[in-house]
Structure 1
Amino acid sequence: MTDHAIAPPAIPPHGPQPENIPAENTSADTPPVIPATKYGKVVLAPMVRSGQLATRLLSLKYGADIVWGPETIDKSLIGCERVENPKTGCVDYVRTGLIFRACPSREKSKFIFQMGTAAPDTAVAAAKIVAQDVSGIDVNSGCPKPFSTHAGMGAALLKDIPRLLSILTALVENVGLSTPYALPISVKIRLLPTVEETHALITSLCKTGISKLTLHCRTPPMRPGERAIRDALSGAAKICEEAGVEFFVNGDIKGWDDAQQVIKEYGIEGGAMIAIAAESNPSCFIPNHLGGPKPWREVVTEYMLIAMSVENPISNTKFCLLNMVPGKNEMHKVLSKAKTYRDLCEALDLECTFPEELDLGTLKTQRVKAQEEKDAQLQAERAERQKKLAEFKRKKAEAEGGKKEGEGSNKRIKVDVGERSNTTTAAVAELAATDMLLPGGAAEPVQAAV
């Protein structure tokens, strides 16, 4: 981003003239603020995870002209139930879980729904499902991620141009501006190997009847950290202008002022998309002459308030917060350990307004909690079994103790009888022996009787 506002030319090539400066913005001590000329729109790019509802609403709050949603696969929408939440004003598309969430009352007029698709029929079916809650349908034909390309979607469509053209044509004819749905249809592409191939593709795309086209100035194999290639930009912008198609540039746009400079330099009749810069600070849509991007702490606070107001899933909220807070800041470490909205709010010193009954933490936390509850239940069941076993053993021991005591008494009786019998026998024998020693005793021995 440039560190100063772009001075307006005497006669801008296109776009609205600068607005008059309010009198209260000038003073004897402060030089007058000269607003930069707005040559085109500055919009939020479609981003997986980062482009969810809370980020879109915050970007609009900070001045984004249009917001693109993250890619949603067309087949995932087919069969969804549309559920309205009167408390938040949101609309959820639910199947086995939440597929997509929008807030028509706060974003519909500026919200473009981006679709991942590989077939005209499913694309049309999905577009009709969300038509009432969006202001446009965009086909993703630039994403190089395997989850998109493996099914013939995203950048894979750039290798099957006839299929891409058939999808766009079907959308224009069935849900486009000339239909009762009246939705502008757009497409987002990446560069082909040569400038000539890129221009030829754009020419073909414009003939399908689309209203908008975005060129990401990188080829599919290029990574976000690689510098955008703008060689084809001027020609692409001219082709779209001649076809009456609104053109947007994407790639290395750092903020509002940078966007205006690129738009002016390449003669773009449309606007510029911001992706990575908006992911780390959605206030990048504020022009420098109006103060420029806000400090991260202020942005994070605003984001949390919006996220709670629309009941944004905590997993997404936490992901976005960690992109906004500088990695070396101590707060980043604290937030990374948070498991619920209440943890996040406590770390940020905010009042938590997220419904307590919904504050279940991230999916990972929920799985951990479920496992902990299962382990606790198993432990309780094990303790109960051990208690019952101990009681059984105690009763068995008592029963066996009583039996042994009875057997001991009987044994003692038998021993006493035996002892008395033995004593008597011994006494008789002794008497007999004595009698034999008496005079005459030898002739008549005594007969012992027991």
Structure 2
Amino acid sequence: MSMYYGPETVDHSMIGTTRRFNEDSKTIEWFRATSQGHKDPPADAKESIIYRMLPEIEKDKLIFQIGTSDPDRAVQAARLVAADVAGIDVNAGCPKPFSTHGGMGAALLKTPDKLCAILEALVKAITPEFEIGISVKIRLLQTAAETEALVRRLCATGITGLTIHCRTTPMRPREAAIRGQLRMITEVCHEYGVACLMNGDVENRDQAIKLAEEFGADGAMIATSAEKNPSCFRSVADGGLASWRDITDAYVKAALDVENRYGNTKYLLSQLVPGKEKVYQPANQCKSYSSTCQTLGLDKYLEQAREVDSKLGLDQPIQGKAAKKAANKKARDNASALAAGGQMAKSRDNTQKKKKALSDRAPNTQTEKSEPAPVALTG
């Protein structure tokens, strides 16, 4: 059985959103009006979709991964999505600044009391009402004893699952995962009836199954490899890895069907298309779904791409955008020139006034005229 973890979504961004079902894309969306610097967004403010799911495929399989550093906010954010997802996972393993900022992500490993309080609050408020489990993802601590102590505390909160990323917080993805503590961690989890997943350098389904069996884990999480080729979840017996062209074909079609934000689609395509391919750079320079389809040879989706471009406002002529940019630059230059001209005129007036004042004080003899101005002050 496969479960899908969504990207880390910060509690602050979810709180205050509104849920709706999008009839066109068949997705459930949580959105808010963009404030654009206003305390109270105007009625015609643009909308920003914070989280979205496709229930037809993801129902009973999607785990909402939350970034939080406060029990109350965690519960508020989780309650908004709990009825639509299969579980809530607290991210206590991401070492990146966007996550650790404000005490979230791997920063929670330094505040275990707070982490346990967050999990206890979610278990108490969310599990009974929505009948879904609460889980947590962590990293290894500096010693096996420290890791074991933390795992025991976390399991005692009532969680149903724990994922261990087999790296310490300072370690980067290029450094090999450390699996020496993995069996101990799985055994501790099982003492409490908690499922244990492993993460770190897991590249495909067959390897995941083999590693889970070797260390007694209940499963494995694949992350980096999935960004490069999502077919890594398919076993060799079922065909193994698909070609990047087949993957990008399926991904572009899915993105068009749900009218995905183009910037996000473009970023993920940069992970799916190998850097050595000739279309890699041209694809990165595209600015719309239409140009992307043309670049990748997906002309069969062009009509749908143009419709989506129109809905997302991506169908403006490039020349028009360039002209508008040039006009804005010219306006800024003119404003700067006018400001500079005003300063220059003011400077000339001040200089002339200063010269006049000095000439009024200067003596009238020819000899004294040729002396520097301060001589007149010597009396």
The aligned counterpart of 2:186 is: 237
Counterpart amino acid of residue 171 in structure 2: M
Aligned to 2:294: 346
The one-letter code sitting in structure 2 at the alignment partner of 1:259 is A
Paired position in structure 2 for 1:358: 311
Q: Distance in 2 between matches of 1:373 and 1:111?
A: 43
Kept in 2, the 8 Å contact 1:256–1:285? The answer is yes
Query: How do 1:280-429 and structure 2 match up within 5 A?
Result: 280-350=228-298, 351-352=301-302, 353-354=304-305, 355-361=308-314, 372-373=323-324, 375-376=326-327
Partners of 1:281 and 1:296 within 8 A in 2? yes
In the superposition, relative to structure 1, how do residues 330 and 272 fare at CA in structure 2: closer, same or farther (>3 Å)? same
Unaligned runs of 5+ in 1: 1-40, 42-64, 381-450
* Identity %, equivalent residues: 46
Moved more, 104-113 or 248-257: 104-113
Q: C-alpha displacement at 1:249, in angstroms?
A: 0.2
Gaps of at least 5 residues in structure 2 are 35-47, 332-379
* Structure 2: distance between partners of 1:128 and 1:135: 13
Instruction: Compare CA radii of gyration and give the structure with the larger one.
Output: 1
CA distance in 1, matches of 2:53, 2:59: 8
**What letter corresponds to residue 260 of structure 1 in structure 2?**
I
Report deviation, 1:368. 10
Offset of 1:181 from its aligned partner? Answer: 1.3
Which residue number corresponds to residue 345 of structure 2?
A: none
Match of 1:75 among 6, 9, 12: 12
Q: Is the 8 A contact 1:340 1:359 kept in 2?
A: no
Change (3 A) 1:201 1:372: farther
Corresponding residue of 1:122? 73
Q: Is the Cα contact below 8 Å between 1:340 and 1:360 reproduced in 2? A: no
Local SS of the residue matching 1:342: helix
Of 5, 23, 27, 1:90 maps to: 27
In structure 2, do the counterparts of structure 1 residues 372 and 206 end up closer, same or farther at CA, with 3 Å as the change threshold?
farther
Give a deviation string over 1:49-84, Cα, whole Å, max 9, x none.
xxxxxxxxxxxxxxxx11100000001111112232
Q: Does 1:197 align with 2:146?
A: yes
How far 1:278 moved relative to its partner? 0.6
TM-score normalised by length of structure 2: 0.78
The 1-side partners of 2:113 and 2:322 are apart by 50
2:99 matches 1:151: no
Distance 1:186 1:379 in 2: 55
Look up the equivalent residue of 1:75 and give its one-letter code. H
- Give per-residue Cα distances to partners, 1:155-188, cap 9 Å, x unaligned: 1100000000000000000001xx1211210000
User: 1:135 matched to which residue of 2?
Assistant: 86
Secondary structure of the 2:168 match is coil
Inter-partner Cα distance in structure 2 for 1:280 and 1:73: 25
Decide whether the 8 Å contact of 1:217 with 1:229 is kept in 2. Answer: yes
> Per the alignment, do residues 367 and 343 of structure 1 end up closer, same or farther by CA in structure 2, a change over 3 Å counting?
closer
Aligned residue identity for 1:89: K
**What is the Cα deviation at residue 379 of structure 1?**
7.5
Q: 1:101 to 1:372 in 2, by over 3 A?
A: farther
Distance in 1 separating the partners of 2:24 and 2:17? 21
Please say if 1:66 is aligned against 2:12: no
Distance, in Å, in 1 between the alignment partners of 2:172 and 2:149 is: 24
From 209, 219, 222, the equivalent of 1:274 is: 222
Could you tell me whether the CA contact under 8 Å between 1:124 and 1:174 is conserved in 2? Answer: yes
Query: How far is the alpha carbon of 1:246 from its aligned partner?
Result: 1.0
Q: Does 1:113 align with 2:64?
A: yes
Q: Is the 8 A contact 2:288 2:309 kept in 1?
A: no
User: Over aligned residue pairs, what C-alpha RMSD do you find?
Assistant: 2.3
In the alignment, the residues of structure 1 paired with residue 131 and residue 209 of structure 2 have an alpha-carbon distance, to the nearest angstrom, of 29
Structure 1 residues 162 and 360: CA distance shift in structure 2, 3 A: same
Give me the whole-angstrom Cα distance separating, in 2, the residues matched to 1:367 and 1:131: 42
CA distance in 2, matches of 1:153, 1:369: 43
Q: Give the alignment's TM-score, normalised by structure 1.
A: 0.66
- Structure with the bigger RCO (C-alpha within 8 Å, sep 6+) is 1
- Equivalent residues, number: 313
